[in-house]
A and B are shown apart, each in its own frame.
Chain A
Amino acid sequence: MSQTVVLEQNAVETQSITLKFDGCSSDANPSPIVNPENQSITIKFDDQASNHHTIPVSIPNVDSETEAAVNEFLRKHGSSDEESVRTDAMNDLWSFIERQEIGTVVVLVKFASDVKNFELLEIFCQRVADVIAKKTVEEVREIFNIANDFTPEEEQAIRDEHRWAFED
């Protein structure tokens, strides 16, 4: 994906220009195209890194080891179109996530949801699903610290309606 920046000079002399995108500065050094008529300079970035997958991200509320594992996945996954490389990256991240406690995984789900990264969401949501599988209602509430906001009548109604699922 390439980004084009057009700078128009308004009779102000500038010695140097630093361009910042999304909080990361680029040292790309592309050749600017000067248009003397309207005094504009066009700089084109062939910016593969604008696919945010390959720029290391900082993840709030996780330890450095987890952040490193996620970044390693993003780097590896974004570095190649080859199926086998991407699958390896996913398997590595998956093995790492399986060893983490559920609180960390929930933080990561929120992160993946916020940055809208589909691949990360897939892995983290699957991990949460695996932890929930075959548990009872009380166990699921306990694991995720979910507050029960049903009234006793509502809860009974749910259990009656789907009696088959709650039979042990």
Chain B
Amino acid sequence: MNTINLQMNKFLISIILMERLPVEVIGNILSRLGAARDVVIASATCRKWREAWRVHLHTLSFNSNDWPVYHELTTSRLEILITQTIFQTTGLQCLSIIMDDVDEFSAAPVIAWLMYTRDSLRQLHYNVRTSPTINIIEKCGRQKLQVLNLSHNTISGIEPSYQRFPCLKSLSLSHISISALDLSYLLTACPKVEILTLLSLEIAMSDAQASMELNSPSLKDLSVEAISLEKFILEADSLEKLQLKDCTLEVFELVGKGTLKLLKIDDVSVIQLDIGENTENLEVVDVSNFTIMWTKFHHMISKASRLRGLRLWGVVFDDEDEIVDMETISVCFPQLIHLSLCYDLKEGSLQYSLQRSFELKNVIMLELGWTVITDLFSQWVAGLLERCPHLRKLIINGVVSEAKSHEECQVLANFTTSIVSLMRKYLHVDVQFEYE
């Protein structure tokens, strides 16, 4: 009997509460729903919910990933439904229009959406070309904008004197055509920007310019991917995270105040990489698919005595005789906790390394990998295990090729045998295997 009463109570309660929930809270719920179709449907349930949509909705999203039918609608139909839905909101703060299949929207509706939301917009995500091309930077609301995420558009004619983004914290540009000068102006127009993401930019350089120079005293986090430049100079006194991926550069220079904490380089071709002399604050260095000149690299990070994580993965040495000097690593980075290594092992250098007495006192997680397995690998694992007295976790990461010759199978089997007997000596270490 008690359970039935409780259930009835809950039923009544939820009805009463639904009617007594402030309409702003309903607006909050609809905003978390975000997806335009869901919002329109939910707002058709009753008057209060409709009012919540019309007056209190702050987030609206038209994303082709949300609803398969978007792909079947014509571009004009999409323009109409987006216009109708946006124009029935008030004070929209976050607008997201991500339509992967649409080639281009007409300029007129896009301008209308931007102008209608100009006074309240805090976040804009937009990835469709417009025809004719419009200057989105000029048309969108700038006063309150905190997040701007633009793709597949052209940006030109930046006027930093009056086109300013006083509140912008996060700027993301992908598949954008922009000149180096305009990008530099744009950054100057964002005095509070902290996060900058550049992906696949087509950067036009004027004949007179040899380098792209960006300057941002507030920037904390820079991510650059798929960019090709001769010279890239970044002046960023507050930069804490720098990530470069799949870039082709001749020169990359970071001018700052030694605030960098994380450096990540993946599949980058660069002739000269300079992150400054003050690397004392570096906590994580992650280099993969990169050609290293060990002496230069070592010089670059040797002052990072607070380094906690080091990853050298798929690295190749410019000079055949150079090796990853483990002894130097143990001396330079006494606070190292995580170490990940994967590179070609050479008999001579491996034996040399393993003869040195050094200890990686604080390493608790070790990740070792091979691209092509050899018998040297087990020796290497054994040697390093011996030198990590406080190790808690070992991850073995290996590439296993599809077509395995008998010899390859034998090497893998030998490795398996030796790792089993090795781990018997280190029962306290948790081993994990990841093969790809």
Contacts and interface: CB of A to CB of B under 8 A. Distances in A.
Nearest to A154: B47
Contacts of A140: 41-42, 45
Contacts of A128: 29, 32
Given A144-B18, A148-B46, A149-B47, A129 B10 contact: no
A107 B85 CA distance: 30
B47 A109 contact: no
Contact of B32 (A126, A149, A166): A126
Best-surrounded residue of B9, B33, B49, B85 (most CB of chain A within 10 A): B33
A113 to B, nearest CB: 5
A166 B45 contact: no
A159 B11 contact: no
Given A137-B44, A140-B41, A165-B41, A106 B14 contact: yes
Given A107-B17, A140-B41, A121 B28 contact: yes
Contact of B41 (A103, A107, A126, A166): A166
A124 to B, nearest CB: 9
Interface in A103-162: 103-104, 106-107, 109-110, 113, 121, 125-126, 128-129, 132-137, 140-141, 144-150, 155, 158-159, 161-162
B45 A164 contact: no
Interface string B36-58: 11101110111101100000000
B38 A109 contact: no
Interface in B1-49: 9-11, 13-15, 17-22, 25, 28-30, 32-38, 40-42, 44-47, 49
A19 B362 CA distance: 51
Nearest to A114: B22
User: Interface size class for chain A?
Assistant: 35 or more
A81 interface: no
B10 A146 contact: no
A40 to B, nearest CB: 42
B38 A145 contact: no
B84 A113 contact: no
A102 interface: yes
Contacts of B33: 129, 132-133
Given A125-B32, A129-B32, A155-B44, A113 B10 contact: no
Contacts of A141: 45-46
Contacts of B271: none
Contacts of B35: 133
Nearest to B85: A162
B365 to A, nearest CB: 17
- Determine the main DSSP class of A at the interface with B: helix
Contacts of B81: 162, 164-165
A167 interface: yes
Contacts of A166: 41, 44
B69 A159 contact: no
A107 B47 contact: no
Contact of B45 (A102, A126, A137): A137
B31 to A, nearest CB: 8
Contacts of B84: 161-162
A72 to B, nearest CB: 22
Contacts of A121: 25, 28
Nearest to B34: A129
A106 B16 CA distance: 10
B413 interface: no
B64 to A, nearest CB: 14
Contact of A132 (B18, B28, B38, B50): B38
Nearest to A167: B69
Contacts of A134: 38
Nearest to A108: B17
B73 interface: yes
A103 B28 contact: no
B83 to A, nearest CB: 12
A61 B41 contact: no
B40 A165 contact: yes
23 contacts: A102-B14, A103-B11, A103-B13, A107-B10, A107-B17, A109-B21, A110-B20, A113-B25, A121-B28, A125-B28, A132-B29, A132-B38, A133-B33, A137-B42, A141-B46, A147-B19, A147-B46, A149-B46, A149-B47, A161-B84, A162-B81, A165-B36, A166-B41
| Interface pairs A-B: 6 shortest CB-CB | A129-B32, A165-B40, A103-B14, A103-B10, A129-B33, A145-B15
Given A145-B18, A149-B46, A150-B47, 13 more contacts: A109-B25, A110-B17, A129-B29, A132-B42, A133-B35, A137-B44, A144-B18, A144-B45, A146-B45, A148-B45, A159-B44, A162-B44, A167-B69
